[in-house]
Amino acid sequence: MTEQELLSAATEAVVAANEEKACEVAREAVSLGLDPLRVINEGFTPGMREVGDLFERGTMFLPEVILASEAMVAAVAILEESLPADQREKTAGSVVLGTIEGDVHDIGKGIVATLLRVYGFEVHDLGRDVPLTSFVEKVAETGADLVGTSALMTTTMVGQKALEKMLKEAGLRDQVKTMVGGAVVTQYWADKIGADAYAENAQEAVAKALELAQG
């Protein structure tokens, strides 16, 4: 297998959510003495990007995305063993996530949590109907880069505004970026309450989170 063929095989293994094949490709890359970072960045990562695109297009679904992610994680673990410690993959960032107090809708929030993990974030999912004080406490405890809140009702979205104030009062607002989402939440609302980002759907939430975490 040439290097190019191996990179293609890595991509295909992730898209097929085939953990066994992904690990086999990773082991072969190590045995051929290929640059592990190149195999990760040009083989496995494009596969995960394609998975994200297929999810966005509605031709690949959440359970398959998770299996694809597990395939990639297992393969990357093999490749990382041959990397110096300082070059090993770090998390993309740390996120505190939850559905705002009074709101029990958590399907969309759960999808966002899953995709954030898939893209390498450390996710502290507080669940649903989460008291505002719990968000503040978790941000303080973890030193998270981002806090994301979901609201599906006009009666609960006001909690997102209150959280902005509470984070300021706790002296944490300058250290953490805020993201808002949910069926009734809009860009206009995010701008109005001073949130750092709004995402229309889970895929966009990941893109915005990556942007904020790098920024």
Partner 1 sequence: MSTYKVRAGDGRFISMTADEIRRDLIEGSEDAADRGGIPPLEENEIDRLLDLFLDQAGVVGVQIGNQVVSTQDGGDHRINADAGSCGLALAIGRIQELHLHERAFGQDTIELGHIDYSYKAVRPIVAQEQSYVEHALLTTTSPLMYGAMPNLGLYYAPDGPYANPSDLLPAGKVKEALAAQEEASLHAQRDIVYVGTRLADSGLDAMNLDTSGSAGDADFLASLNAAEELKAKRPDLGIEMGMASEFVLGMHGRLSYKGERLAGMYPHDQVRMAEAAGVDVFGPVVNTNTRRSTPWNVARAVCFVKACVQAANIPIHANVGMGVGGIPVLDTPSLDAVSRASVAMVEIARVDGL
8 A C-beta contact, residue 99 and residue 125: no
| Among positions 2, 31, 33, 59, the unique one binding partner 1 when judged by CB under 8 A | 59
Decide: is 107 part of the binding site for partner 1 (CB under 8 A): yes
| Half-sphere exposure for 102 (CA within 13 Å, toward CB) | 11
Decide: is 110 part of the binding site for partner 1 (CB under 8 A): yes
Q: Of 1 and 184, which has the nearer Cβ to partner 1? A: 184
* Count of chain residues binding partner 1 (CB under 8 A): 34
Cβ burial of 83 (10 Å; 0-12, 13-18, 19+) is middle
Q: How far is the CB of 207 from partner 1 (least distance, A)?
A: 14
Question: Could you count the other beta carbons within 10 Å of the beta carbon of residue 161?
Answer: 15
Q: What is the rounded CA–CA span in Å between residue 194 and residue 178?
A: 9
| Among positions 101, 105, 160, 196, the unique one binding partner 1 when judged by CB under 8 A | 105
Decide: is 87 part of the binding site for partner 1 (CB under 8 A): no
| Among positions 38, 155, 162, 211, the unique one binding partner 1 when judged by CB under 8 A | 155
Decide: is 66 part of the binding site for partner 1 (CB under 8 A): yes
- What's the DSSP call for residue 100? B
Q: How far is the CB of 199 from partner 1 (least distance, A)?
A: 11
Give the range of 24-32, 36-44, 133-141, 185-193 binding partner 1 by CB under 8 A.
185-193
Buried b (16+ CB within 10 A) or exposed e, 126-146: bebebebeebbebbbeeebbb
Could you identify the residue written with the tokens 């040439």? 2
Which stretches of the chain bind partner 1, using CB under 8 A? Answer: 57-64, 66-67, 70, 104-107, 109-111, 113-114, 117, 123, 125, 127, 153-155, 183-184, 186-189, 200
